[in-house]
């Protein structure tokens, strides 16, 4: 009998998307092939504590950690071991074959936990440290894409310190370079947390104040009349792309409340666009993915400007949602890959990336031989 692959599903975390992450993990755990995988759920609290145990999803949703075991990652490189600490302070080592971070936002999708896994030299799914950190920061993402010659939305970047020091100067700069309506976004948040559409100067000031509560780096974007297209990318060196999806916005824009509470907007897969346009969108998404050296999976969001008929890159999500309403799994389902098979593919890609990194590297002495 072949041993099951032991997968640690990591969820929760310290970001404002803590609750969304719990739902993503719940769906992954319910859908994964139990005949092939042995699941170890690991929840991270909002203050950074790690736990595991029975009924952990329900307990985390209730904010109740009683009865759960504290968890730490063995610091011995390549050990792939968790150390469980029970209530009587006895330790139990548990081998993990691969870690699956179902974390959204800062302290999970931004390269921090990826760096931990890299330091411990353990396999994990999804993008690496560099791609995760750049992809999380909307200002950095735009700078890299712009440098690569990819089309982006006109924007301005500011920081909280500058805003606190001279609000009038920043407002004047924004109004000189951009036209209302203007979107204001925290640079390092997802799920549309802290995003506001400003139509007046007073709106703009309040919007920046709100965004500063979530991040010290703020993205200011020109508001455009667009169609919101989304692309699901899967792969390492030779990524594949699913049918393009579209968000049919029901309100002012696709905000957190609309995504997870009111549900005024809807989604459509495949998007109702000509085949030629879909191909153009897919090609742009693949370029954006490769420029950031993405691996495993990501969702690339692209705007179609209704007035200029131009495609503009919006952002990349290196750990897209896996909830029942999430677009990433929906797009792959419409493209012939079921939810369980998608999880399987992501895990395989994680092993593939880890094995490639751990192939024998040339030593310093061996490198010297090249110059003799």
Q: Which residues fall within 8 angstroms of residue 20, CB to CB, at 6 or more apart?
A: 104, 191, 260, 321, 323
When pLDDT is cut at 50, 70 and 90, the band that residue 157 belongs to is very high
Q: Where in the chain is the domain with CATH 3.30.470.20?
A: 226-357
Task: Find the range with the poorest average confidence among 247-256, 291-300, 305-314.
Answer: 247-256
- Joined together, the tokens standing for residue 237 give 């060196």
Tell me the pLDDT tens digit for each residue of 197-225. Answer: 999 999 999 999 999 988 899 999 999 99
Indicate the range of 148-157, 179-188, 228-237 predicted with least confidence: 179-188
Residue 124 carries which DSSP code? B
Task: Give the list of residues 6+ apart from residue 210 with CB closer than 8 angstroms, or none.
Answer: 184, 194, 196
**Domain 154-222's class?**
alpha beta
pLDDT at 177 over 70: yes
C-alpha–C-alpha distance, residues 372 and 120, integer Å: 35
* pLDDT at res. 251: 56
How many helices (H) and strands (E) are present in the chain, helices listed first?
13, 17
User: What's the pLDDT tens digit per position in 271-287?
Assistant: 999 999 999 999 999 99
Closest CA to 24 of 323, 346, 356: 323
Q: What is the pLDDT of residue 365?
A: 60
Residue 87 banded pLDDT, cuts 50, 70, 90:
low
At 72 the pLDDT is 86
Residue 1: pLDDT over 50? no
Averaged pLDDT of the chain: 89
The CATH architecture one would assign to domain 226-357 is: 2-Layer Sandwich (3.30)
Is the Cβ–Cβ distance between 174 and 194 less than 8 Å? Answer: no
pLDDT at position 325, please?
81
**Range list for CATH 3.30.1490.20 in the chain:** 154-222
pLDDT tens sequence across 111-145: 999 999 999 899 999 999 999 999 999 999 999 99
Given the candidates 3.40.50.20, 3.40.50.300, 1.10.3720.10, 3.40.50.1000, the CATH classification of the domain at 5-124 is 3.40.50.20
Categorize the per-residue pLDDT at 37 as very low, low, confident or very high, splitting at 50, 70 and 90: very high
> Do the beta carbons of residue 41 and residue 25 sit within 8 Å?
yes
pLDDT of 178 over the 70 cut = yes
Q: Which of 191, 230, 232 is nearest to 342 (CA)?
A: 232
pLDDT at 338 over 80: yes
At residue 370, the 3 state secondary structure works out as: coil
pLDDT of residue 63: 93
Span(s) in the chain for CATH 3.40.50.20: 5-124
Place 82 in a pLDDT band, splitting at 50, 70 and 90. confident
Measured between alpha carbons, how far is residue 93 from residues 71, 79, 86, 90, 134 in Å? Answer: 10, 10, 11, 10, 34
d(C-alpha 111, C-alpha 134), whole Å: 8
């Amino acid at each position: 009998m072949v041993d099951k692959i032991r997968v640690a599903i990591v969820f929760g975390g310290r970001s404002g998307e803590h609750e969304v992450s719990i739902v993503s993990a719940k769906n992954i755990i319910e859908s994964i092939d139990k005949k092939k995988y042995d699941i170890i759920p690991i929840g991270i609290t909002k203050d950074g504590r790690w736990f595991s145990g029975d009924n952990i999803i329900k307990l985390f949703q209730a904010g109740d950690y009683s009865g759960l075991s504290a968890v730490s990652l063995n610091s011995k490189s390549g050990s792939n071991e968790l150390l469980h600490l029970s209530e009587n302070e006895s330790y139990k080592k548990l081998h993990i074959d691969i870690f699956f971070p179902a974390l959204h936002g800062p302290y999970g999708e931004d390269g921090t936990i990826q760096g931990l896994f890299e330091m411990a030299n353990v396999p994990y799914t999804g993008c690496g440290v560099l791609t995760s950190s750049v992809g999380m920061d909307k200002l950095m993402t735009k700078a890299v894409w712009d440098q690569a010659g990819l089309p982006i939305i006109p924007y301005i970047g500011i920081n909280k310190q500058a805003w606190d020091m001279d609000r009038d100067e920043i407002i004047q700069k924004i109004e000189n370079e951009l036209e209302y309506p203007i979107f204001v976004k925290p640079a390092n948040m997802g799920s549309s947390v802290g995003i506001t559409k400003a139509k007046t100067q007073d709106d703009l000031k309040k919007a920046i104040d709100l965004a500063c509560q979530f991040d010290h780096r703020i993205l200011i974007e020109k508001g455009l009349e667009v169609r919101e297209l989304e692309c699901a990318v899967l792969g390492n060196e030779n990524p594949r792309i699913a049918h393009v999806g579209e968000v049919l916005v029901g309100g002012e824009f696709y905000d957190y409340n609309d995504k997870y509470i009111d549900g005024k907007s809807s989604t459509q897969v495949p998007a109702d666009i000509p085949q030629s346009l879909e191909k153009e969108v897919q090609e742009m998404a693949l370029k954006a993915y490769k420029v950031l050296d993405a691996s495993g999976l990501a969702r690339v969001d692209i705007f179609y400007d209704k007035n200029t008929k131009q495609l503009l890159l919006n952002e990349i999500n290196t750990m897209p949602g896996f909830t029942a309403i999430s677009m990433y799994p929906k797009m792959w389902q419409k493209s012939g890959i079921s939810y369980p098979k998608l999880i399987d593919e992501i895990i395989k890609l994680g092993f593939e990336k880890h094995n490639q990194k751990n192939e024998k590297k040339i030593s310093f002495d061996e490198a010297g031989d090249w110059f003799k």
